[in-house]
Amino acid sequence: MNLSGVVILYNPENLVYENILSYIDEVNYLVVFDNSEIKNNDLIEKLKQLNKVEYVSFDKNKGVSYALNIGAKKAIEKGFKHLLTMDQDNKFKPNFLKTIIDKIETYNIENVGIYAPLQKSNDYQTKEEFKKYCNISNDEIEEVKLVMNSASILNLDVLKEINFYSEDLFVDYVDIDICIKIRLNNYKVIRFNNLVLNHNLGKVVKYNLIFKKGFFNIHSPLRLYYIVRDGLYLSKKYKEIDFFKTIFLPVFKTKLIHLFIIRDSFFKRIKYIIKGYIDYKKGKKGKIEE
C-alpha cells in the first residue's frame, strides 16, 4: 500500500517529533499541518529536514476539518489512494502501522471507507478491562458505526465521492460526521479489535460516586461550546438517524454531570454552553467569534 498521511499540530511540544518518527517509515508522504497559535520553531526545523514531510501553516488555527482536507487533497494530487490521519499526541509501537496495513491487504474487504484500530485511554484500564467495559466484540475484525479520527486509514476515492470533511465542523464531531457520511453512502467502517492504540485523552479525572466509579477527560469551556453548537447542528443535519437522541444527548448529559463533579470554572463553562446554543440558533459555523 502506497500510504500518505496527515498530522495536525496545535501548540506542540518537542516530543511530537518522536511520535511522528514512530510511523514516518511506513508512509510515503506526510503533510504536517500546523494549526498552532504558538509556533515551536525547533520542532518545525526538525520536521522540515524529513524528506517525506511537507509542512503547511497559515499562521492561525484553521480547524481540524480544514487541515484534514488539505492533507487529503494534496495526497490525491500526488496519486495516493489511502490517507493515514493522526493526532500529534499519538505514537505507534514498533510495527503497529505495518500490522494494520498487512491486515487491510490480507482481508481485502470490498467497499470500505475507513479502517481503524481500537482506541482506549492509556489510563487506568488494561486492554481486557477496556474491551469488557465498552462491550467490545472478541472478533478480530468488525464493521462498526464510528471510529476515532487518529490512526485511521481513509479510502481517498470514497472521501472524494462524499465531498471530503465538513469544514463547518471546527474541532468536535469531525470523526463522527465522516463515519456517518461513509455509512450513508453504503461504504463500511472497519475496526481491528485486536490492535489497540493508547489514545491520549488529555487531562483525566477519576471519580467514585455512590453507585458508579470511573474516569473521564476534562473539556475546556471552549470545547464545550463546540460540543453544544456543532452537536445541535448535526442533530438537524442527521434527523433520519436520530443523531440528537443517539449521539448528542448522551454526550451532553455526560458533560453536565462532569460539570458538577469537577466544578472548576463552573460558570465559565455554563456561559460557553449557552453561547454554543445561541450561535447554533444564529446559524454560526466554523471558528467561534469572540
Element (H, E) at 198: strand 188-199
Using CA atoms, how far apart are residues 207 and 204, in angstroms rounded to an integer? 10
Provide the 3-class DSSP secondary structure of residue 21: helix
Predicted TM-score (pTM) of the model is 0.91
Average pLDDT of span 251-280? 87
Query: pLDDT at position 282, please?
Result: 96
- What is the average pLDDT score of the chain? 90
Query: pLDDT at position 88, please?
Result: 94
Query: In the structure, what pLDDT confidence band is assigned to residue 56 with cuts at 50, 70 and 90?
Result: very high
Ramachandran region of residue 55, left (φ > 0), alpha (ψ -120 to 50) or beta?
beta
Using CA atoms, how far apart are residues 118 and 99, in angstroms rounded to an integer? 13
Other C-beta atoms lying within 10 Å of the C-beta of residue 204: 14
Least confident of 16-25, 207-216, 257-266, 269-278: 207-216
Query: pLDDT at position 289, please?
Result: 81
Using CA atoms, how far apart are residues 117 and 190, in angstroms rounded to an integer? 9
Q: What is the pLDDT of residues 158-217, one digit of tens each?
A: 999 999 999 999 999 999 999 999 999 999 999 999 898 876 655 555 555 555 555 556
Return the closest-CA partner of residue 103 out of 90, 84, 117.
117
Residue type, 162: I
Do residues 23 and 92 lie in contact, with contact meaning Cβ atoms separated by under 8 Å? yes
Average pLDDT of span 256-280? 87
CATH superfamily of 3-199: Spore Coat Polysaccharide Biosynthesis Protein SpsA; Chain A (3.90.550.10)
Do residues 70 and 58 lie in contact, with contact meaning Cβ atoms separated by under 8 Å? no
134, pLDDT greater than 90? no
Average pLDDT of span 129-147? 81
Element (H, E) at 235: helix 221-237
Torsion over CA: 238, 180, 136, 214 (sign)? negative
Domain positions in the chain are 3-199, 204-282
Using CA atoms, how far apart are residues 28 and 98, in angstroms rounded to an integer? 13
Beta-carbon contacts of residue 108 (< 8 Å; ≥ 6 apart): none
